[in-house]
Amino acid sequence: MSNIQTDLFTKSKTLVPGGVHSPVRSFKGLTSTPRFFKRAEGAYIYDVEDKSYVDFCMSFGPMILGHRNPIVEKALQEGLTRGWSYGACEPYSLELAEYLISRLPHVEQLRFVNSGTEAVMTALRLARGVTGRNKIIKFNGCYHGHVDSMLIKAGSGLAGEAEASSAGVPEGVAHDTLILELGDIAGLKQCFIDHKDQIAAIIIEPLPANNGLMVQPKEFLQFLRDITTANKSLLIFDEVISGFRVAFGGMAEVTGIKPDIVTLGKIIGGGLPVGAIGASKFIMEHLAPIGKVYQAGTLSANPLAMVGGLSTLKQMTPEAYKKIEEQTKKITTLLTNWMKSYNNGEFAMFQVTTYSSLFWIVPKDNVTKISDIPANLTENFNKLFEVMLERGIYLAPNAYEVGFVSLAHDDSVVADLAKRLDFKL
């Protein structure tokens, strides 16, 4: 590692806590220090010394077309000439809203915010406002952004920690979050008995992808739908990662299960800061200015972000989804075979769990809940990560984060990946 990178990190640590603006960038537990990147293009990201990396972090998901997609870039350049924030009504959010609503059968209205975290924060307040109840059920290992009440047994940067919960969350807030294990049907039934008429909503990542990739059986999601309906509680699908990633309509489309409220983010901004809450007109009209649930934002529905989102989504055709899944298969097969043969089987314990264009490198198959995750995951992942980094392959720097493939990961990138791994295709 060169001094240029370590010097930047040293400087960064004097200016920013831990040297990072988000903990999952920090290379915690790794031998190397964070790479500082100066530009990105297609499937590649380039550090300040101009070393290229095949990027499988892809900004943690939004860049489904790859970096600097020319159509998005042109739309953004045109957008810039119109000014980039008005704090007033504009037509660009209507176009994006119309595009989304016409394709999401469970959404009649939506509201744009600036991040997935804001979307979840609003969804929870809305669920409470609609039902007049306070308690929310969340699942161990699911991450819903850095909302106080959701930072209890959360995933992402808290995954794998003994407590997996944040300091600074008042007891009163935590009291209203009920934590269950994924798949625990008996526990859920009991919970609805113990807290009769108090549960506002169940929130779940219908494809949990923040504690590794813990694919849930459809029957479990259907059970959540049924038990919430039976108890007049709401079902919130947090599709910040899975929305427009696994299919245009996310896991709601894949499973045919309709949530009452959906939270969106990442891809719907195409790499600019956007989140959204969507639901029926009845639920959404509980929001101010019509309803009594307050929600607001200076930069909400930022015109440039709206244009970034729409120009991204318009390129996600059924063929595009087919293509990205084909490329993911090629990449994960290559990685699996390489790991089997590398250095006398040093990484042979790993396999690659894949769902659509997401993947997770893990020493076990069929992980559906936290207790299935092998204890040796981080130790082995950290070794693998360093080898990959050295060879110019950038995974998210944490064993519990998933890998993201983009449409820019074409066959030439797959061939280059093989070359970087010294692996014959």
Ligand X SMILES: NCC(=O)CCC(=O)O
- Using rule CB under 6 A, residue 24 touches ligand X: yes
Dihedral sign from CA coordinates of 283, 287, 292, 293: positive
CA gap 204, 400 in Å, rounded: 17
120 binds, among ligand X, ligand PLP, none (CB under 5 to 8 A by kind): ligand PLP
Shortest CB 401 distance to ligand PLP, Å: 9
Contact status: 55 vs ligand PLP (CB under 6 A): no
Residues 238-267 that bind ligand PLP (CB under 6 A): 238, 240-241, 265
- Which CB atom, from 265 or from 303, has the smaller least distance to ligand PLP? 265
99 classed as catalytic: no
Per CB under 6 A, the list member of 22, 222, 229, 412 interacting with ligand X is: 22
Token pair of 132 as six digits? 């007049």
Q: Which helix (H) or strand (E) holds 45?
A: strand 44-47
CB atoms within 10 A of CB 313: 20
Q: Which residues pair with 112 in a beta bridge?
A: 276
Give the length of the chain. 425
Within positions 121 to 160, which residues make up the interface with ligand PLP, using CB under 6 A?
143-145, 156
Q: Note if 411 is an active site residue.
A: no
Residue ranges in 47-106 that form contacts with ligand X under rule CB under 6 A: 60
* Distance in angstroms (rounded) separating the CA atoms of residues 387 and 384: 5
Q: Are 267 and 64 in contact (CB under 8 A)?
A: yes
The token pair that represents 210 in the structure block: 């923040």
Which among ligand PLP, ligand X, none contacts residue 401 (Cβ within 5 to 8 A by kind)? ligand X
Hey, what are 425's tokens?
Answer: 């295709």
Q: Cα–Cα–Cα angle for 404, 351, 368, nearest 5°?
A: 75
Residues 332-371 that bind ligand PLP (CB under 6 A): none
Catalytic residue among 47, 55, 238, 260: 238
Question: Are the C-beta atoms of residues 331 and 357 closer than 8 Å to each other?
Answer: no
Between CA 256 and CA 218 the distance in angstroms is: 9
- Please tell me whether residue 416 binds ligand X under the rule CB under 6 A: no
| Main-chain dihedrals φ then ψ at residue 40, nearest 5 degrees | -150, 150
206 is a contact residue toward ligand PLP (CB under 6 A)? no
Verify whether residue 416 is a known catalytic residue.
no
Give the one entry of ligand PLP, ligand X, none that residue 381 binds, where binding means its C-beta sits below a cut-off of 5 to 8 angstroms depending on kind. Answer: none
Q: Which does 116 bind (CB under 5 to 8 A by kind): ligand X, ligand PLP, none?
A: ligand PLP
Site mask, ligand X, residues 127-156, x = CB under 6 A? ----------------x------------x
Point out which residues pair with 381 in neighbouring strands. none
Cβ distance to ligand PLP smaller for residue 57 or 200? 57
Tell whether residue 353 is a contact of ligand X (CB under 6 A).
Answer: no
Per CB under 6 A, does 116 bind ligand PLP? yes
The upper half-sphere exposure of residue 263, i.e. CA atoms within 13 Å in the direction of its Cβ, equals 30
The secondary structure of residue 67, as a DSSP letter, is: B
What does each C-alpha distance from 81 to 78, 89, 306, 310, 383 come to in angstroms?
Answer: 5, 18, 15, 17, 47
- The site that binds ligand PLP (CB under 6 A) totals a number of residues, namely 15
Q: Which CB sits closer to ligand X, 156 or 228?
A: 156
Identify the active-site residue in 143, 321, 394, 400.
143
Note whether 117 binds ligand PLP by CB under 6 A. Answer: yes
Task: By CB under 6 A, tell whether 239 contacts ligand X.
Answer: no
Binding at 240: pick from ligand X, ligand PLP, none (beta carbon under 5-8 Å per type): ligand PLP
317 counts as binding ligand X under rule CB under 6 A? no
105 CA to centre of own chain: 22
Active-site positions read 143, 238, 266
